[in-house]
Chain A
Amino acid sequence: MDIIWSVISPAQLDAFVKFCINVLIIILKIVVVLAVGLLHVAYATYFERKVIGHMQVRLGPMRVGPHGLLQPFADGIKLFFKEDIIPAKADKTLFYLAPVIFMASAMVNLSVIPYSQNFIIADLNVGLLFIFAMAGVGVYGIFISGWASNSKYAFIGGLRSSAQVISYEIAMGLSLVGVMMMAGSLNLSDIVRAQQESVFGIYAIPQIVAFIVFTISATAEVNRTPFDLPEAESELVAGYFTEYSSFRFALFFLGEYIAMFIMASLCAVCFLGGWSLPWYITKYVPFINYVPGVVWYLVKVYAFIFFYYWIRATVPRYRYDQLMAVGWKILIPLALANILVTGLVKILV
């Protein structure tokens, strides 16, 4: 023992132990979030197939397990054991790298989302900006995969996707500026707390325009119907990941569903009050306070994801130029006007 004390003082050891515990807690949180995140992806696909199935007068998966509940695992195992095919003339290094970039940039966002009042892996001060930045990195994954596949379909898909994601990111970013102005922070937890204290309890009411713009551009951002041009199967077979198979394909798939989850979370956090409920509900139905915040958070997220599915089962697909027109001519001016109005109201009121 003496040897230890000669190197380190009790105060230092105390600090070290505390540090270790903190790291352990963070690792634990990461494990929980990753496990839940991956499980979420598995069951989001199941959920999607079931929801759309019932909307289309069919049953969806029914065979694997009761009501097809084990279907996601069967799919995962199948994908894992499939042959990994790499096109002969592909750029191998980039081909390997692309799905990793795509998925990593989507998954890293899970760390800044406040799932509950005290459950957040990294409470960044620039959380919102971080998510945008990572979405921007994700485009590289898409574009590199389109380029490295050495296939014309993948190439067009990659081009379309990067153009789309970049232009809709602007609209989405601008729509969230209103929220930042009202909350006065880029920290996602602070945004939720600011909403709790606001008059309406959620920002979706005063920022209704921004909310609509955000919902539309979030759909485009994650390449879902009616903005699923990058992977429009009737035109481009599967878009940028046409040439991918096996687990590399699964990585793209994973990345896409996690991106969807992130967008839904962002919507829940920035517009619907995250883990909290508006004060006028908690005031009149007090026992609702005993429900943990993470439940409300998940309800909001899944409501938003359900909305994605619903849209997918309902509407046809935009054409490329129409999609760009919607983004640049409608959404961006709307978001800009919203910023202006928010600013004016803030000055005057």
Chain B
Amino acid sequence: MSGKGEMEPVGKIFETRELNVNMGPQHPATHGVLRLVLDIDGETIVKVTPYVGYLHRGIEKLGESMSYFQALPLTDRMDYVSAMSNNIGYCVAVEKLYGIEVPERAKFIRTIAGEMSRIANHLLWLATHALDIGAMTVFLYCFREREWILDLYEMICGARLTVTYPRVGGVRNDVQQEFLESLWKFTDEFPSRILEYETLIDQNRIWLLRTKGIGVISAEEAVNWGMTGPTLRGSGVPYDIRKFMPYDAYDKVDFEVPIGTVGDTYDRYRCRMLEMRQSNNIIRQCIEKLPAGPVMADAPKFTMQPKDKMMPITHPTKQHAFFIKEKACKGCGMCLRACPAKAIFGEKKKPHAIKQDMCLGCATCYVTCKFKALVIVPAGKGLSDEKLAELAEAPVPEEITKASEYLVRQFEFVKKGPKVPEGEIYVATEVPKGELGFYFVSDGSAKPYRMRVRAPSFVHAGCLPRLCAGHLVADVIANIGTIDIVLGECDR
């Protein structure tokens, strides 16, 4: 005690130390494998240090060893909660790099898919955020609707979580009328379901106590920290890429960007709740305006051709035989090595032959052969080699010729990928969590020289120490929830 009657802090008298608690990477509330090292003084946070990287799978590096369209399924694995949006983000970026235009219908379908993913993501966010704060019932209510959306995903593409439905140049397949009707029913029902969640927590005193004034961040500071998405909009910055740099069909639909005022956890919660309503609205508009037409860009050089064009050759019921012309075969052994069924026999420098009863009819040898020694005999299997040799001399039907052209092109496309011009490009899209940017450096080959993903979760996780400073232990949980991170995307 000093003589002037001023009390010294208790900590100084007893020389107390902060308790160092390791939260995660395995912890029920860190939304994956986030590890936080907390220095706590009683219940008060002195310092928070986030450690990321426990889910690092090297997606960016993997992308460099694949052609552009091959890396698409990797993006599913980044933000697995809203895979659809990640796919769209990637496709939009690659399309810009290729310089191809997506057909109108595909744009609308993608917008629908993207907004469905936004709703699904926000539902999961609300579910876990509420569960972290202790409201258990909201969790299950939200999952009920999320399940519905995943069922709808299943209707469009057969997958529920890692969809890979949007493709470079459009979408994988067209949607059915049945799907649109089901989705319409969902959009009819959904606003009342949002009300249900709000009844549980929106005006709940405990919820307000736990979220108001927690993790407050001013608009300026939020921008400086690089926050995006609802996390930024909660602070009152109306920045939304869908409005400012519209992609897909966002310039053709009418929607608002909800913003908060204070920038606390409650504002961000409100923003996301309102966003779900807007998304619902966008889906309805898209269904109403959905134009007819193709769903894949007409750019054979850059897009995967539909498989039915190759059907005359590869379909198992057609049963075409493959035959090696003795005269043309140089005995290079390419087909021998490529054959998955090991049905090709022969010695080096001597003509090879196919054992017909072992042949799968996959046409791998056909596309491998550089000397056009392989021919497709439209006769079916079970013929003798002599008969085949005889038939092989006959002119090939036009149907087969056309299909085989496609087949070769497809093979080249998959094996090598389309070449892109040299240069670099950064394309951002608005995924549910914020701004997802893809940055490509192209050296003129078919694979990116460098692929970089600007993941909103990573940026937001970096802001955690700022948000948590001076709060209590329980607020750390609220803050992890409010920035809406998925570690798959954060670590990549």
B28 and A234 form a contact (CB under 8 A):
yes
CB distance from A323 to the nearest CB of B (A): 10
User: Dominant SS at the B interface?
Assistant: helix
A321 and B472 form a contact (CB under 8 A):
yes
B141 and A234 form a contact (CB under 8 A):
no
CB distance from A36 to the nearest CB of B (A): 29
Contact flags B43-60 to A (C-beta < 8 A → 1, else 0): 100000000000000000
Determine, out of A22-30, A72-80, A89-97, A309-317, the stretch whose residues face the partner at the interface.
A309-317
CB distance from B265 to the nearest CB of A (A): 12
Interface size class of A (residues with CB under 8 A): 20 to 34
A322 and B29 form a contact (CB under 8 A):
no
Q: Does B362 contact A (CB under 8 A)?
A: no
B477 and A312 form a contact (CB under 8 A):
no
> What chain B residues lie within 8 Å of A317 (beta carbons)?
133-134, 206, 210, 474
Which residues 213-263 of A have a CB within 8 angstroms of B? Answer: 225-226, 228-229, 232-235, 237
- In the complex the two chains form, what is the Cα distance from A225 to B131 in whole Å? 12
A318 and B209 form a contact (CB under 8 A):
yes
- In the complex the two chains form, what is the Cα distance from A317 to B211 in whole Å? 11
Determine, out of A50-58, A113-121, A192-200, the stretch whose residues face the partner at the interface.
A50-58
> What chain A residues lie within 8 Å of B130 (beta carbons)?
316
Q: Does A329 contact B (CB under 8 A)?
A: no
Q: Does A307 contact B (CB under 8 A)?
A: no
> What chain A residues lie within 8 Å of B28 (beta carbons)?
233-234, 237
Q: Does A319 contact B (CB under 8 A)?
A: yes
CB distance from A239 to the nearest CB of B (A): 12
What is the number of contacts between chain A and chain B, taking CB atoms within 8 Å? 85
Q: Does B182 contact A (CB under 8 A)?
A: no
A320 and B140 form a contact (CB under 8 A):
no
A316 and B204 form a contact (CB under 8 A):
yes
A234-B477, A321-B472 are contacts. A315–B135 as well, Cβ < 8 Å?
Answer: yes
A56-B140, A320-B474 are contacts. A315–B134 as well, Cβ < 8 Å?
Answer: yes
Q: Does B132 contact A (CB under 8 A)?
A: yes
In the complex, the chain B residue whose C-beta lies closest to that of A226 is B206
> What chain A residues lie within 8 Å of B21 (beta carbons)?
152-153, 156
> What chain B residues lie within 8 Å of A56 (beta carbons)?
136-137, 139-141
Q: Does B249 contact A (CB under 8 A)?
A: no
Which residues 1-60 of B have a CB within 8 angstroms of A? Answer: 19, 21-22, 27-29, 43
- In the complex the two chains form, what is the Cα distance from A160 to B19 in whole Å? 15
Contact flags A284-322 to B (C-beta < 8 A → 1, else 0): 000000000000000000000000000011111111111
Q: Does B144 contact A (CB under 8 A)?
A: yes
Contact flags B162-179 to A (C-beta < 8 A → 1, else 0): 000000000000000000
Q: Does B201 contact A (CB under 8 A)?
A: yes
User: Dominant SS at the A interface?
Assistant: helix
Q: Does B248 contact A (CB under 8 A)?
A: no
A55-B137, A228-B134 are contacts. A315–B474 as well, Cβ < 8 Å?
Answer: no
Contact flags A36-67 to B (C-beta < 8 A → 1, else 0): 00000000000000001001111000000000
Q: Does B200 contact A (CB under 8 A)?
A: yes
- In the complex the two chains form, what is the Cα distance from A234 to B206 in whole Å? 16
A58-B140, A319-B472 are contacts. A314–B209 as well, Cβ < 8 Å?
Answer: no
- In the complex the two chains form, what is the Cα distance from A314 to B134 in whole Å? 9
Contact flags B130-168 to A (C-beta < 8 A → 1, else 0): 111111110111001000000000000000000000000
A226-B206, A233-B28 are contacts. A314–B137 as well, Cβ < 8 Å?
Answer: yes
In the complex, the chain A residue whose C-beta lies closest to that of B200 is A314
Of the candidates A226, A234, A313, which one forms a contact with B29 in the assembled complex, judged by CB atoms under 8 Å apart?
Answer: A234
A57-B141, A315-B206, A319-B209 are contacts. A234–B135 as well, Cβ < 8 Å?
Answer: no
Q: Does B359 contact A (CB under 8 A)?
A: no
B134 and A226 form a contact (CB under 8 A):
yes
A152-B19, A228-B134 are contacts. A316–B473 as well, Cβ < 8 Å?
Answer: no
A237-B27, A316-B204 are contacts. A57–B132 as well, Cβ < 8 Å?
Answer: no
Which residues 153-209 of A have a CB within 8 angstroms of B? Answer: 153, 156, 160
CB distance from B480 to the nearest CB of A (A): 9
> What chain A residues lie within 8 Å of B43 (beta carbons)?
156, 160, 320-321
CB distance from A181 to the nearest CB of B (A): 31
In the complex, the chain A residue whose C-beta lies closest to that of B206 is A316
- In the complex the two chains form, what is the Cα distance from A56 to B206 in whole Å? 20
A316 and B135 form a contact (CB under 8 A):
yes
A316 and B477 form a contact (CB under 8 A):
no
Q: Does B475 contact A (CB under 8 A)?
A: yes
B29 and A235 form a contact (CB under 8 A):
yes
Q: Does B207 contact A (CB under 8 A)?
A: yes
Partner-B contacts on A (CB < 8 A): 52, 55-58, 152-153, 156, 160, 225-226, 228-229, 232-235, 237, 312-322
A-B CB contact pairs (8 Å), 17 listed: A55-B137, A56-B137, A56-B141, A57-B140, A152-B19, A156-B43, A156-B473, A229-B474, A235-B29, A312-B136, A313-B136, A315-B206, A316-B134, A316-B204, A318-B210, A320-B473, A322-B206
Top 4 closest pairs, chain A to chain B, by CB: A317-B134, A234-B29, A316-B134, A316-B135
